[in-house]
A and B are shown apart, each in its own frame.
Chain A
């Protein structure tokens, strides 16, 4: 049977906060599934419930059709990176992996293999407490790979990584999925998942907002929108808004317009004497698509016009 993560109808309350409110989704093998949502949307709680660390009030989370607690060697079913800081600082990186290997009946040979895979060979004898956050992420990934599991789950693996590390991580996640594994990667920044995720589970306020492929999502978000490049941004905004379009400032000299056709925009700007260098059909970034989706789910959103909020949140 194909190993997957199946989450259905999870509810969990922490005191007055409803952390999970009917969370349901499935992670398919052979692709990277992005698990995206603002902070507090319930991503980490869902992952803890999947790993049997937190008990859900309702609902179920299964790994390959079985609850996590019933797995005998769980690390060979699911590899997880929850919190890269979860280390005994005075223990060396290699010994951290060694005790984890011993708990699964694995030996030092397997430890050396995952150290190689995670690119940690040079630092492995050092105390883990001296590691940078990026190094700790690599150590966490090595730990997740120990049991060579068909399912991998990573909570914010890009946190603290330098650009080079981020590039490495993207390639690494894609290669794991290419090996046929089910890979679930959470992030609160959609941009990190650009060119990495094949599928997205977008969550907010404890439940799934969208469960879609990345290609589909971008097509939807791009639909009917037009990019205008202009040096006179504020004049162009005034003119186009006046004509009934929704205008969003995407960049210092870029506007994204919806509700007006490209030809009509060219005409309007020409009539008003506003200079522009480009008017083209817009292709949304993953991030814009995500912002569109989660707009209502962001709990502490500033009460500003939607265009401005997109800009600020994207920074």
Chain B
């Protein structure tokens, strides 16, 4: 038997498709130009540096309050009261309300009728000492089963609200609607909570006979003995008006509400005999509240809120890690310049001809360039964001400033997302540089498309609606990936870009930038293939 030797056809002998070689060549190109490497390091330094400067410069309200007494105070009781407790989900929460309670040892239920919800608002005409009747939209009162009286502990509650009907809320962030409409003597609401182990079910009824289940929640790890009873809370009153040309101003002052409960009934294990009324979450006694009992009829007055604590809200005392990433825009500028020049320098010098002669499959050349610049800038963005978040938090706490805690998954999303934001912006700049073949034009357009809308949006120079649209439809939408806190319908706050809220969801915002980058890259590939080099 003779072996057959097939002559090799030139060009067919390569088993591998050679893309790894193109990739390696582009990486060698990038790392051997010192200016590009330095530019990338500059991006890291300005991103982290501006963020750390912001973290170090911010001062807590606690410092300001004691500053007149001879320098800032770093620790002390005065500081502690301003810091919100942390809820089960890892977010900061408001947990201050008036609580009329008894222990519930094991399973059981509580049922009550509410016939009235009224309140007092600060007067808008005087300096705040006068009040007028009225309710804030999310004034709330009802029944609650709570892990303990410790602020931030787990709970589930059924309540009536001023403007949002019956709600079932639990663990600060969850909110489910029950019967709509306002409560009155003519149109009372019946509320019921039943506990079975760590499962709590809420019901509402218009007549105390026909009940509708509003929701069921599991409070994992709920102890056998919990605190249960009546509560009233009323978030601070905020009147905020948008200034002409952007920005806001307004007044913020405490409000209070009073609910009338009747036909209170209980079943199950209630070992205590008497009701205790106290204000939860205000150790300094600043909370407004009290109750009055006449048989099964209770009148409870309270203030405060049981809800997530967010920035842009009345009584906002701190910063979010988003604010430690304000340097991202400056880092982006450096990255955009480097990424654009990565291709336009080749056009300027005619080097593109050598590149394309060495690798005639042009789409692959651009793909390799995109992967190289995307990876390099991703790592740079990741490092900068991690440094800003980690050292920003340390610096802020060393200065006595409060930083809102966020769950670790959110922190990870923000840090990784910032890396992705910078990387995808770099790819967009590379693609536009390929399309235009001119550094100055491409750099300008990408900066105008990403950095400018972001700055206009967060700097409060535009009306909120205008900056909202800018941050939806421009590539700057991607900054949504840095949003640290969700928006809650049940919390009244200034949800504007300037306080760290973006109109699109985090990944949706990043997807907008990705779409721009993908379209531009597609156009760049078509043009690179079609044009003479």
Sort chain A's interface into a size bin: 35 or more
Chain B residues, Cβ within 8 Å of A52? 356-357, 360
- From B10, B18, B351, B357, A105 is in contact (CB under 8 Å) with B18
- Contact B353 A55, beta carbon cutoff 8 Å: no
Chain B residues, Cβ within 8 Å of A141? none
Chain A residues, Cβ within 8 Å of B523? none
- Contact A72 B11, beta carbon cutoff 8 Å: yes
Chain A residues, Cβ within 8 Å of B356? 52-53
Q: Is B29 an interface residue (CB 8 A)?
A: yes
A-contact 0/1 string along B236-252, CB 8 Å cutoff? 00000000000000000
Q: Which of B211-254 contact A (CB under 8 A)?
A: none
Instruction: Report the separation of the CA atoms of residues A96 and B22 in the bound assembly, to the nearest whole angstrom.
Output: 14
Chain B residues, Cβ within 8 Å of A74? 357-360
Q: Is A264 an interface residue (CB 8 A)?
A: no
Chain B residues, Cβ within 8 Å of A66? 10-11
Instruction: Report the separation of the CA atoms of residues A85 and B354 in the bound assembly, to the nearest whole angstrom.
Output: 11
Instruction: Report the separation of the CA atoms of residues A89 and B349 in the bound assembly, to the nearest whole angstrom.
Output: 9
- Contact A86 B351, beta carbon cutoff 8 Å: yes
Knowing that A72-B11, A74-B360, A100-B354 touch, tell me 8 more A-B residue pairs with CB under 8 angstroms. A69-B361, A71-B11, A72-B12, A73-B11, A80-B357, A86-B350, A89-B349, A104-B358
Sort chain B's interface into a size bin: 20 to 34
- Minimum C-beta distance from B331 to chain A (A): 22
- Contact B18 A73, beta carbon cutoff 8 Å: yes
- Minimum C-beta distance from B281 to chain A (A): 61
- Contact A102 B28, beta carbon cutoff 8 Å: yes
- Contact B349 A103, beta carbon cutoff 8 Å: no
Among the stretches B32-40, B47-55, B146-154, B410-418, the one at the interface with A is B32-40
- Minimum C-beta distance from B30 to chain A (A): 9
Instruction: Report the separation of the CA atoms of residues A103 and B357 in the bound assembly, to the nearest whole angstrom.
Output: 10
The 4 closest A-B pairs by CB, nearest first: A103-B25, A95-B32, A99-B28, A86-B350
- From B22, B32, B345, B533, A92 is in contact (CB under 8 Å) with B32
Instruction: Report the separation of the CA atoms of residues A267 and B35 in the bound assembly, to the nearest whole angstrom.
Output: 76
Q: Which of A42-72 contact B (CB under 8 A)?
A: 48, 51-55, 64, 66, 68-72
Chain B residues, Cβ within 8 Å of A77? 10
- Minimum C-beta distance from A58 to chain B (A): 15
Q: Is A98 an interface residue (CB 8 A)?
A: yes
Chain A residues, Cβ within 8 Å of B18? 72-73, 105
- Contact B24 A68, beta carbon cutoff 8 Å: no
- From A64, A87, A92, A103, B10 is in contact (CB under 8 Å) with A64
Instruction: Report the separation of the CA atoms of residues A103 and B358 in the bound assembly, to the nearest whole angstrom.
Output: 7
- Contact A102 B24, beta carbon cutoff 8 Å: yes
- From A55, A64, A85, A88, B345 is in contact (CB under 8 Å) with A88
- Contact A100 B11, beta carbon cutoff 8 Å: no
- From A72, A95, A98, A143, B354 is in contact (CB under 8 Å) with A143
- Minimum C-beta distance from B341 to chain A (A): 10
Chain A residues, Cβ within 8 Å of B26? 99
Q: Is B14 an interface residue (CB 8 A)?
A: yes
Q: B24: nearest residue on chain A (CB-CB)?
A: A102
A-contact 0/1 string along B318-355, CB 8 Å cutoff? 00000000000000000000000000011001110111
Q: Is A142 an interface residue (CB 8 A)?
A: no
Q: Is A90 an interface residue (CB 8 A)?
A: yes
Instruction: Report the separation of the CA atoms of residues A77 and B10 in the bound assembly, to the nearest whole angstrom.
Output: 9
Chain A residues, Cβ within 8 Å of B359? 74, 103
- Contact A83 B11, beta carbon cutoff 8 Å: no
- Contact B33 A90, beta carbon cutoff 8 Å: yes
Q: Is B532 an interface residue (CB 8 A)?
A: yes
Q: Is A75 an interface residue (CB 8 A)?
A: yes
- Contact A103 B21, beta carbon cutoff 8 Å: yes
Instruction: Report the separation of the CA atoms of residues A77 and B11 in the bound assembly, to the nearest whole angstrom.
Output: 9
Chain A residues, Cβ within 8 Å of B11? 66, 70-73
Chain B residues, Cβ within 8 Å of A103? 21-22, 24-25, 355, 358-359
- Contact B358 A54, beta carbon cutoff 8 Å: no
